[in-house]
Amino acid sequence: MLSVGLTGGIGAGKSEVSRLLVSYGAVLIDADRIAREVVEPGTPGLAAVVAEFGEGVLTPEGTLDRPGLGAIVFQDPERLAALNAIVHPLVGARSAELKALAGPDDVVIHDVPLLTENGLAPLYDLVVVVDAAPETQLDRLVRLRGMTEDEARARMAAQATRAQRRAVADLIIDNDGPLEALEPQVRKVWEELRQRAAEPR
């Protein structure tokens, strides 16, 4: 089994890369999706978040108000650290369960947005970074996700720099261009990952 960390800044196009890799046969462990699952209503994770941040982070239906919580933590590193201390261990445990289900020849892609920020690169056999220029990220966040420019800049500032991400990369996928330029690059990376998975370790 080859364990691959996949990361990239917000708006870099990491989700599209993971979707392509899955279409080729990769096993995907999506940290963001798991992070949502571990704070669903009725979970110990949600109870812990409410205990830390108060009932104000819940919607009237009793689900986590993610934008509301985001507005609190992305402006305050201490509050962000408090949230991460609750969510990250839960995500790590669930990720380990899912990885244990993969076969010996599988390429397991761990989609981890904050891989660089949390120093997680050593956990993987190799790291793939989806890279885009900050102006490309900003444009996508405003145009495609409907963020204001200030919101987008705040989200980007809360993450690692482009240089920090590139420094932990074993393979880099350049996603500054159009979608059709992305697929051949991802296919090439997939072929390399399959080759490495087949090598005796």
Domain shared by 16 and 44, yes or no: no
Confidence band (pLDDT; 50, 70, 90) for 201?
Answer: low
Among residues 104, 134, 149, the one where a domain terminates is 104
Range of the domain at 138: 1-26+106-201
What mean pLDDT is predicted for residues 17-27? Answer: 96
Measured torsion, CA atoms of residues 184, 185, 190, 191, in degrees rounded to the nearest 10: 70
pLDDT range class, residue 14, cuts 50, 70, 90: very high
Residues 13 and 83 in one domain: no
Asked if 109 contacts 125 with a C-beta cutoff of 8 angstroms, the reply is no
Q: Is pLDDT above 90 for 114?
A: no
pLDDT: which is higher, 48 or 178? 48
Are both 89 and 140 inside the same structural domain? Answer: no
For 70-104, what is each residue's pLDDT tens digit? 989 988 989 999 999 999 899 989 989 999 999 98
Based on the domain organization, do 75 and 159 belong to the same domain?
A: no
- Same domain for 20 and 116, yes or no, is yes
Q: What is the pTM of this model?
A: 0.80
What is the number of domains present in the chain?
Answer: 2
